[in-house]
Amino acid sequence: MWLQTSCELKFVTDFPTPFIFMLRPRSGAQQWIASEEYLLYPTVPAFEFTDEYGNLCQRLVAPPGDFSLSTSARIMTADSIDQEPGGYFVDIQNLPDNVLKYLLPSRYCESDRFGEMATEITANQQPGYDQVAEIERWLHTTIRYEPGSSFLPLSAIEVNLQQSGVCRDLAHLGVALCRSLSIPARIVVGYLYELEPMELHAWFEAYVADRWYTFDATQQFKRGGYVAIGYGRDAADVAVYNQFGPAVFPIKQEVTVELV
Amino acid sequence: MWLQTSCELKFVTDFPTPFIFMLRPRSGAQQWIASEEYLLYPTVPAFEFTDEYGNLCQRLVAPPGDFSLSTSARIMTADSIDQEPGGYFVDIQNLPDNVLKYLLPSRYCESDRFGEMATEITANQQPGYDQVAEIERWLHTTIRYEPGSSFLPLSAIEVNLQQSGVCRDLAHLGVALCRSLSIPARIVVGYLYELEPMELHAWFEAYVADRWYTFDATQQFKRGGYVAIGYGRDAADVAVYNQFGPAVFPIKQEVTVELV
Amino acid sequence: MWLQTSCELKFVTDFPTPFIFMLRPRSGAQQWIASEEYLLYPTVPAFEFTDEYGNLCQRLVAPPGDFSLSTSARIMTADSIDQEPGGYFVDIQNLPDNVLKYLLPSRYCESDRFGEMATEITANQQPGYDQVAEIERWLHTTIRYEPGSSFLPLSAIEVNLQQSGVCRDLAHLGVALCRSLSIPARIVVGYLYELEPMELHAWFEAYVADRWYTFDATQQFKRGGYVAIGYGRDAADVAVYNQFGPAVFPIKQEVTVELV
Amino acid sequence: MWLQTSCELKFVTDFPTPFIFMLRPRSGAQQWIASEEYLLYPTVPAFEFTDEYGNLCQRLVAPPGDFSLSTSARIMTADSIDQEPGGYFVDIQNLPDNVLKYLLPSRYCESDRFGEMATEITANQQPGYDQVAEIERWLHTTIRYEPGSSFLPLSAIEVNLQQSGVCRDLAHLGVALCRSLSIPARIVVGYLYELEPMELHAWFEAYVADRWYTFDATQQFKRGGYVAIGYGRDAADVAVYNQFGPAVFPIKQEVTVELV
């Protein structure tokens, strides 16, 4: 399906403020960016680099006063997402080198503390895809999904205590549970068509049967319409923006996703 | 200055034909891509990856029949290019690791065979920027520049024998001469505002005084308006397209660069 | 100074157990490996790869029963460590791209929660080196250093609550405090000559005045004799070994460092 | 089999001379380095980095006068090399991203000029492994192998004109022929047990049936005992040493390979 996505951010700052944005989706195996726009008001010098996960990041210093970004893109993405019930667990020794980092605990995914819980949840499942699908199901029925956004990400431990969270928080718990079973898992931030209410979204991927599969505990039914902006170990790696110096909050954050 | 660039390519193929394109300029230290479009007719699955030089490459298989690409971008680039007369030669032991590869001979830049010639040309110059500037001047006055495009790149040795060439060929000789003096050098392909006649362009960069500087032996005067699409050791790394299987040639290649 | 280092690990396993080891120091800017030995008993196929931080990692599956590794190396390292009182804070926009990741919170360094505390500790310091030196001093005088090793790393928050920890734990708190001031910081694991009692060691580095500087809150006096094995965001990245499947603990871990 | 390899190089220089050496084999999928020694006389600061092909490179400045390197290693390598008659050709669109660069022409492998010749040589072969095996056979029976070393590498075109060459030259022609058939190919330098006369060796690898396979046109029979030091597009990437400034030649180069 062809989607038109947009994200507009507006800040008011008192000081020159360094930002790192991650707002440019990349063409890749799963999506093709046919056209794209990335506007800054006022125009300031911006420098783009690729981070260690392959994400495009934009660095700039916002001048004091109003500062806004307006990004939009026309993107072809899959109508449905791939599923692979029964997909096998990949033995550690057969994982590609660059997937191994997704086995380790990270800031918001303390997988080193979830081994027992993950084993219980997936007790009756075959190792691999079915374990992850069961984790997704468990999250969907157990952890209350509270749509919308929150500024402070919760770690898997915190989400588990609180038994509720935004999309990003549920993804953190999903990732931590997978990793504690030695299944590589990562977070994805991006857009989802017909998300209610419309916002930036986050979900997770697990590496089974020799590739990454998409999981999203916030949705009742599997469907397509996902557009990835960034991949990482957890929210610390895929912040839509990182800002340095005295804290600045967006006074406007508007997201749209429309079928073309 | 703000430029609107476009490049359209059209092919007719008899067989499914794998292509790797390099037609997506990247935002970076020197230019900012404000908007961009990349259209395929017919639409086929395309996969993007980043090569070892940081260039964005698009992989696809063109179906038999007509196939065309249409890319365009709105880009902010510098009004003038930096110069640094007297800029110092960087000792090998002080070069960044990732610059070292630009010291080695490559397919079209046989720098291992140009030591004597480069030494003669730059006999009266201080090591560093001034040597490169002298090489650029020597190329401009000695090698006849034949604007337009050619399908088969010439190597530095061939250009030197023929005493003429297109932009890419002059760049090859410039790069080979620099490297033979232990100055890292690389080729750049991209757009140049007000190039006559308008076509894709190629020039070279040399690493002196701790950064890359732009050199272009095809132009009488230094000016801005450059938009880089790809960087590499020579034309083998930065082909706008690589095509595999029975040879296919573009039946149309149209380039425009306009001031916004 | 020339050091002879060794580390021997011995495990007993009931099942074939996948391991990833990080026990091979690399020659680099700070140390030169003149000779090295890495023996496995029994001999099993082992595969080496370089992780995203440049560390050499060895992957293998230990067979059931006794399994041991014996590594040793003869290494030249600096007699003293560089210091730079007054060294300037590097503005975010001037940091190299590959240093930016060391600004982000990570598994054991929840820098997003330490802004206020770091500001208080460094209240009277110039931004940059002096802030980090003050953090090191504060750690040394405030957090009780308990030499020896522990299996479960503590996060910065946990160390701060507990007010004590092993070398790795102190490093976590140091790193978190630096990052919360927008100073890139990373953990290092390795050897330290004359460490008492002798064990693998951990310390941290901060990026100020355009390079990495060494800090170690466990030692009273600055001195040389450091040998780095691995660099990372925190202990999750630089585990000397990661083991998958049912937990296995070393029945022997012996480290020696001698002056040659 | 377990091999003990050594390489000693000795130079006499009149000036401080920057060198980049590539003399440290890496543990990887095909070999395990159990012990290793790398000595410099006199001792000078040396800095190691990993190049874009994953090779370990050592940078140093040799002082005027005598300078020597002495490296040795104990290595486990395969007793025989894998073969895969009938192994399939991998379609361009299915090649891993990081293999694509081995399809392009390079300094000493002008694959863009060998299409017709390669097609003739492999006329009766199935695409894939069998084509490469036929190229290896053709090289072995057609191009006279002249054991020993030469300072100036020959390019594939030059080897083909001369109809003879050292191991490196035969590898260049093999690589060029493979690439002209859209089969990724690369050169390898290293050691070979029982090579006559004993010297550093070079051979090539081709990517078919989803992995790299070893080919060596200098040997009558397929056998094991290969130890790789470096991989690259051609000899320009894998020089055992690159030296900058006034030319310096080794006054001694001694290689040994013994069964342990």
pLDDT band at A29 (very low <50, low <70, confident <90, very high): confident
**HSE of B141 in the Cβ direction (CA atoms, 13 Å)?**
6
Question: What is the pLDDT averaged over residues D162-169?
Answer: 96
Q: Which residues numbered 53-112 in B keep a CB inside 8 Å of some CB on A?
A: 54, 56, 58, 76
Contact list, D57 vs chain C (CB under 8 Å): none
* Residue to substitute from A13, A56, A107, interface C, most C β-carbons within 10 A: A107
**Average pLDDT value for chain C:** 94
Contact D217, D133 (CB under 8 A): no
A91, A98, A104 ranked by CB distance to C237: nearest: A104
User: What CA–CA distance (Å, rounded) separates A155 from A169?
Assistant: 7
Report phi then psi at C217, rounded to 5: -75, -5
What are the DSSP calls for B24-92, one per residue? -----SSEEEEEEEEEEES---EEEEE-TTS-EEEEEEEPSEEEEEEEEEEEEE-SS----TTPBPPPG
User: What CA–CA distance (Å, rounded) separates A16 from A31?
Assistant: 35
Please list, in sequence order, all residues whose beta carbon lies within 8 angstroms of the beta carbon of residue D166, skipping any fewer than 6 positions away: D145, D146, D147, D148, D149, D150, D202
> Which chain D residue's Cα is nearest to C33?
D38
Query: Which candidate, D206, D102, D214, D113, places its Cα nearest to that of D156?
Result: D113
Q: What is the ipTM of this complex?
A: 0.89
Q: Which residues pair with B227 in a beta bridge?
A: B191
pLDDT at site D79 = 93
Contact D213, D129 (CB under 8 A): yes
Cα separations (Å) of D86 from A117, D89, D126, D128?
49, 9, 7, 7
Which positions of chain B have pLDDT values less than 70? 149, 151
pLDDT tens digit sequence for C127-152 = 999 999 999 999 999 999 998 767 68
User: What CA–CA distance (Å, rounded) separates A241 from A21?
Assistant: 4
User: What CA–CA distance (Å, rounded) separates B191 from B200?
Assistant: 5
Question: What is the pLDDT averaged over residues A142-171?
Answer: 91
- Name subunits touching B (3+ CB pairs < 8 A): A, D
Q: Which residues numbered 109-168 in C keep a CB inside 8 Å of some CB on D?
A: none
Question: What is the pLDDT averaged over residues D86-91?
Answer: 97
Residue A149 or residue C145, greater confidence: C145
pLDDT tens digit sequence for A122-131 = 999 999 999 9
Q: Which helix (H) or strand (E) holds B169?
A: helix B167-180
> Which chain C residue's Cα is nearest to A54?
C52
- A28 pLDDT above the threshold of 90: no
Q: Which amino acid is at C55?
A: N
User: Looking at CA atoms only, how far is residue A38 from chain C in angstroms?
Assistant: 20
**How would you write chain D as a 3-class SS string?**
CEEEEEEEEEEEECCCEEEEECCCCCCCCCEEEEEEEEEEECCCCCEEEECCCCCEEEEEEECCEEEEEEEEEEEEECCCCCCCCCCECCCHHHCCHHHHHHHCCECCECHHHCHHHHHHHCCCCCCEHHHHHHHHHHHHHHCEECCCCCCCCCCHHHHHHHCEECHHHHHHHHHHHHHHCCCCEEEEEEEECCCCCCCCEEEEEEEECCEEEEECCCCCCCCCCEEEEEEECCCCCCCCEEECCCCCCEEEEEEEEEEC
pLDDT at site B27 = 87
Q: Which amino acid is at A156?
A: A
Q: Which residues pair with A74 in a beta bridge?
A: A4, A35
DSSP 8-state class, residue A99: G
pLDDT band at C249 (very low <50, low <70, confident <90, very high): confident
pLDDT at site C258 = 97
pLDDT tens digit sequence for D9-24 = 999 999 999 999 999 9
**Average pLDDT value for chain D:** 94
pLDDT at site A245 = 86
Contact A88, A77 (CB under 8 A): no
Report phi then psi at C43, rounded to 5: -70, 125
pLDDT tens digit sequence for A38-90 = 999 999 989 999 898 989 999 999 999 999 999 999 999 999 999 999 999 99
Residue C225 or residue C247, greater confidence: C225
Please list, in sequence order, all residues whose beta carbon lies within 8 angstroms of the beta carbon of residue B123, skipping any fewer than 6 positions away: none
Distance of alpha carbon D52 from the chain centroid: 16
